[in-house]
Amino acid sequence: MNSSAIKNVVIAGGGTAGWMAAAALGKLLGKNLNITLVESDLIPTVGVGEATIPSLHIFHDLLKIKESDVMKATNATFKLGISFENWRDVNQDYIHSFGYLGQGCWAAGFQHFWVKGKQQGIVSEIGDYCPEHVASRRGKFAVIPNQDRNYAYHLDAGLYAKFLRGMAEEYGVKRVEGKINQVNVNEANGFIQSIALDNSKVIEGDLFIDCTGFKGLLIEQALHTGYEDWSHWLPCDSAIAVQTKIHNKTVPYTRSIAHKAGWQWQIPLQNRMGNGVVFCSKHLSDEDAKELLLNNIEGELLNEPRVIKFKTGTRRKHWNKNCVAVGLSSGFIEPLESTSIHLIQQSIIRLMQNLPSKNMEQANIDDFNNKMRFEIDNIRDFIVLHYHVTQRTDSAFWRYCKNMEIPESLQQRINFFIENGNAYRTERELFGETSWIQVMIGQGLMPKYYHQIVDMMSDAELKGFLDNIKMTIERRVNSFPDHNEFIKNYCQSSVM
C-alpha cells in the first residue's frame, strides 16, 4: 500500500452531515481507512432540513440503500416539488415541480411553443405540461419501473442520521463521545494535528472533516479560513422551527408561504408536520415571528418553538489545509429550495473522488474548491431569483428585495430569458432549464419573443401538439394511486 496514503480520517460532529460522511467513507473506502466520528450528546443538531431534492438518489445508489427501507426508517413521504405561495404577489401561487416540461426540438425548448400558445390563448398554465406538476396538485404518486426518478423525499433528519449511523458503524466507523475543547494545529505547516475533547481524549488524524455546524470549529475557529457574507442578497437571518401532529392527508410537495418579512415552510412527514418561519430580523422580531408562525399552523404542538440564527454566505474555501468543511460549517444558503443535503452529498462525493495523500496535494484541493464554489454560486443565484423577481411592494422587506442589486450572473440569465425565452444549464449546475423556467414564469417574468422555428407549425398543428402533450400527461397521472395510499403499501413507517 502507498505509504503516503491517508489512514486516519476524523469527522468532527454528527448530525446529517457527519453521518452521511461517515456512512459513505465507511462503506465505500473503509477497508483502507480508520474513520472516527466525534460528537457530543449534549450538543443539539440544527436538524430542521427535512426536505430533499432528487439528487439524493445518487447518494443512495452509491451506498446501495433501498428506498423503501430508508423511507420506513425516517417517516418519509414523497416530494414532487415546492408550492410557492404569495411570492409573486399576495394571493398568487405557483409550483416549482421536478421533472421536465413538455417537448421541445433541437433549436428551441418547450417554453417557446408554450409562449406562442399563450399569446394565442390556446394553453393553460405551464405546469399542466409536466406530469410531476400535475401529480403534485392532485395528490397522486407512483414508483414505476424504468421511470425517471423525478421525485425526492420529506424525511426526519434526526432519524436519517440514526439510519446512516447504523450503516457507518456496520462498516467500521468508530464513534467517540465528547465535546471538542481544543483544535491542535501544527505550527510549521498550519495543518490540524488533533482535536482534544472535554474528557481528556485526544484524536489524531491525517484528514479532518468539519461537521460542527455554524460554529465551524475547525475550518474557521482553528484555520481562520474566512467567510463571504451574502446577506445583502439573502437578507433573512433567522428561523423558528416547530413540529405539529398531522391531522390531514399529506401532500406530495413542500409548501413555502411568503409573509411580510420572509416565508414559512410546511413539510409533511408520515407522523408529523415540520413547520418553520424564515425571516429578516431587521423587519421582524423573534417574538413577532413566533406569533406569526403559531397563528398559521394547524395541529397540536409536539415541541417548543426553537429560534435559529444564521448568516447566509460561504466559506472562502471549503477545503483548507487538511480540513474539509461539510454541511453548515461550509456556509449556508437558505433552505428555500431544499439544497442543504444536496451540498453535503456533493462535498462528500467530491472529497472521495479527490481523496489526497498525506501531502494534501494542492491540485486536489483547488479542484474541489472550484467545483463547490461554481455549484454554490449557481444555487445562490437561483434562490435570489425568488426574492428579487417579485411584484410585492407591501412591506419594506419586499421593496428591498425587489430593488436590490443582484449578482451579474443572475441578471444575465434574467435578461436572456426576457429577451428571447431561453434558459440554460451548464455542466455541474444543479438546477436545470425546467426549474429556471418555472420559477421565472411563476414569479411573473414572460419572454418578449419566442424562437421563430415555432412558426414552422401552422396554428392548428401547434394546438394539436400542445393538446396532445397535455392529454398524454392527464392519462398518465390519472393512472397513479393516491399519494397516501401508495405510502401505506410501499413504505409505511413502523416508527410513528
Distance CA 422, CA 415 (A): 9
Distance CA 496, CA 492 (A): 9
Distance CA 36, CA 50 (A): 26
Q: For the chain, percent helix, then strand, then coil, each to nearest 5?
A: 40, 20, 40
Q: Write the DSSP symbol of residue 165.
A: H
Residue type, 451: H
Q: How far is CA 428 from CA 21, 346, 370, 406, 435, in A?
A: 21, 10, 11, 22, 15
The order of strands in the sheet holding 227-229 is 227-229, 313-315, 331-332
Q: Catalytic: 249?
A: no
Asked if 439 contacts 87 with a C-beta cutoff of 8 angstroms, the reply is no
Q: Write the DSSP symbol of residue 197.
A: E
For residue 127, give the C-alpha cell: 405546469
Report which of 358, 354, 363 is spatially closest to residue 4, judged by C-alpha positions: 358
Distance CA 76, CA 430 (A): 23
b/e 299-318 (16+ beta carbons within 10 angstroms → b): eeeeeebeeeebebbbbebb
Asked if 112 contacts 454 with a C-beta cutoff of 8 angstroms, the reply is yes
Other CB atoms within a 10 A radius of the CB of residue 418 amount to 15
For residue 210, give the C-alpha cell: 468539519
Asked if 256 contacts 84 with a C-beta cutoff of 8 angstroms, the reply is yes
Distance CA 439, CA 453 (A): 24
Catalytic entry in 79, 118, 260, 321: 79
Distance CA 89, CA 99 (A): 25
User: In sequence order, what are the beta bridge partners of 371?
Assistant: none
DSSP 406-440: --HHHHHHHHHHHHH------TT-SS-HHHHHHHH
User: In sequence order, what are the beta bridge partners of 482?
Assistant: 140
What is the enclosing helix (H) or strand (E) of 384? helix 362-388
Distance CA 251, CA 39 (A): 35
Residue type, 60: H
Where do we find the cell 436545470?
432
Q: Which residues are catalytic?
A: 79
